[in-house]
Structure 1
């Protein structure tokens, strides 16, 4: 799916029932994975978040961050679940 994270926005801490594979098309932002240092992502970068790992994305910039996300999940489960 195409994902857009507006300037100054956060996706919100969440998990997926399967792996998330992402590729940044435009802009930049931070991938925030629980237990890991923040990772700066820029256009051309790719990332993988394993199933069940709590994560968030933050765009502290002034322009939208656009990416393509591929989710390898069970189609009978919600795509994302908010984390506590």
Structure 2
């Protein structure tokens, strides 16, 4: 059942993201030694001047910027701009967003350590 909900999320997420200039490519998904948790890894590509709105995850997210630069807003903290080779850790449940304000493509490698059976992404209201 968890795999089906993950697949459904992936399909709907990719469909809506591609319309907005953001493409998500799922790379791997594995159970980990922490009972009830798994790791999911994905590449997220942002076309110039695109943004992914406020959302959270049922676990931690570790971001590595592969190319370009991206601005991240985590909760009410000051936005941070990361360039290729820089990293960011987002604690479980914290609402955040990402934007590419540049004229070039930007990409990140996102690794999620999340609770199994929950949607990997929850849009903020």
What corresponds to 1:18 in structure 2?
Answer: 59
SS of the aligned residue for 1:2 comes to: strand
Looking at structure 2, the residues matched to 27 and 33 of structure 1 have their Cα atoms a distance apart, in angstroms, of 19
Relative to the length of structure 2, the TM-score reads 0.65
What corresponds to 1:39 in structure 2?
Answer: 80
Task: Give the helix-richer structure, 1 or 2.
Answer: 2
Looking at structure 2, the residues matched to 10 and 17 of structure 1 have their Cα atoms a distance apart, in angstroms, of 21
Looking at structure 1, the residues matched to 99 and 117 of structure 2 have their Cα atoms a distance apart, in angstroms, of 28
Looking at structure 1, the residues matched to 118 and 105 of structure 2 have their Cα atoms a distance apart, in angstroms, of 29
User: Where do 5+ consecutive residues of structure 1 fail to align?
Assistant: none
Which protein shows a greater Rg?
A: 2
Relative to the length of structure 1, the TM-score reads 0.96
User: Where do 5+ consecutive residues of structure 2 fail to align?
Assistant: 1-41
After superposition, the C-alpha distances for 1:23-54 in whole angstroms (9 at most, x for unaligned) are: 00100010011210010110010001101000
Q: Which has the higher contact order (CA 8 A, sep 6+)?
A: 1
SS of the aligned residue for 1:11 comes to: strand
Looking at structure 2, the residues matched to 44 and 18 of structure 1 have their Cα atoms a distance apart, in angstroms, of 23
Find runs of 4+ consecutive structure 1 residues off by over 6 angstroms: none
RMSD: 0.7
